[in-house]
Amino acid sequence: MTRIAFAIRIAAVALSITPAAAADLSRFPPASRFYPPTPLLRVYNWTGCYLGGQLGAAFADNKVNGQFVGFGLSDNVDATAVIAGGQVGCDLQVARNWVIGAQIDGAWTHLNASKTFAGSQGLDANGSHFDVTGNLLINANVIATATGRIGYAANFDDIAGLFYLKGGAAFINYDNFGFSGQSALTLCTAPNTCGTSGAAFNFNAPSSNRWGWTIGLGTEWVVDGNWSVFGEWDYLNFGTQNVTFTDATFGSTQVGIKQQINELKMGVNYRFGNPLPAQYP
């Protein structure tokens, strides 16, 4: 009987403890609350201003339409040249992956387009004819742009990159327009009875500036703290401009010149300020 009474007492004590223990356990939060918080994503901060240099190539397409000494020109005059210059700008990172900014850049070049033209015009049945041979020059020495840009920032472990579009105003300075050559007039009083006279000409136009528009795209990558490198393609369109060429003997003539330029360039930027990465959840 004593053992039975002892067992009954033990069971009673156990039953009295169970509700209290269950109440204590209910005070703990769910297991999910014990999971560690999601770590912050470290993102390079593109906000700030920068200064840098660039090197590349420019490809000009000039469409020419006009007349010199009665000889009509209607053709393309192309040019390729090295460009070297610099850029300055500022960026603002408006979200984890989006960057907006503004930039001014300028480059020096010898974008010299040159092409030789030759033509002949028959005058009568005896074989009289008028011949012109000349070389057209269109030379530019400064190209600049003022643009806004929008970019998408990408981060791959410890590498930060920016893919961007840009667009705005374009500027070019022409330092020389010219068309020089020789004209020859052959007059025939009868077949194979001809006389020839000729005159040299040298048409020139004053240096001038032209404004247009540009659009481009590029990518930029951080290489070491404040330093970044970039590669870029730009398209510049300056429309059609009537240029007045003048020669001391033959007078003046107007020639329409439509110019488009493609640029490929790469460069380096130094970004001012603290390049510490921003943190986003």
pLDDT band for 187, please (50, 70, 90 cuts): confident
- Going by pLDDT thresholds of 50, 70 and 90, the confidence category of residue 102 is very high
Lowest mean pLDDT among 22-31, 84-93, 173-182, 231-240: 22-31
Q: For 136-199, give the DSSP string.
A: EEEEEEEEEEEEEEEEEEEEETTEEEEEEEEEEEEEEEEEEEEEEEEEEEEEEEETTEEEEEEE
- Domain locations in the chain? 2-280
Reported as a pLDDT band with limits 50, 70 and 90, residue 152 is: very high
Residue at 109: amino acid letter: T
Is pLDDT larger for residue 209 or for residue 120?
Answer: 209
**Is it the case that residue 225 has pLDDT exceeding 90?**
no
- The pLDDT value recorded for residue 88 is 98
What mean pLDDT comes out for the span 134-149?
Answer: 95
Over its C-alpha atoms, the chain yields an Rg (Å, rounded) of 38
Q: What is the pLDDT of residues 171-185, one digit of tens each?
A: 999 998 999 888 888
- The DSSP output letter for 210 is E
For the chain, the average pLDDT equals: 84
Count of positions (residues) in the chain: 281
Q: Are 258 and 63 in contact (CB under 8 A)?
A: yes
Is 70 exceeded by the pLDDT of residue 29?
no
pLDDT greater than 50 at residue 276: yes
Between the CA of residue 136 and those of 77, 78, 139, 146, 179, what are the distances in Å?
A: 8, 11, 10, 30, 4
* Cβ proximity of 222 and 228 under 8 Å: yes
Whole-angstrom distance, CA of residue 164 vs CA of residue 64? 34
pLDDT at 32 > cutoff 90: no
CA distance 217 to 35: 44
Q: Which CATH architecture has domain 2-280?
A: Beta Barrel (2.40)
Residue 25 clears pLDDT 70, i.e. is over it: no
**What's the pLDDT band for 255 if we cut at 50, 70, 90?**
very high
CA–CA gap between residue 137 and residue 38 (Å, rounded): 65
Strand pairing partners for 213?
169, 237
Contacts of 63 (CB under 8 A, 6+ apart): 75, 76, 240, 257, 258, 259
Please check the confidence at residue 22 and state whether its pLDDT lies above 70.
no
Which percentage of the chain shows pLDDT scores above 70? 82
User: Residue 191's pLDDT is what?
Assistant: 78
What is the mean predicted confidence (pLDDT) over 124-138?
84
Q: Give the confidence band of 26 by pLDDT, cuts at 50, 70, 90.
A: very low
This prediction has a pTM of: 0.78
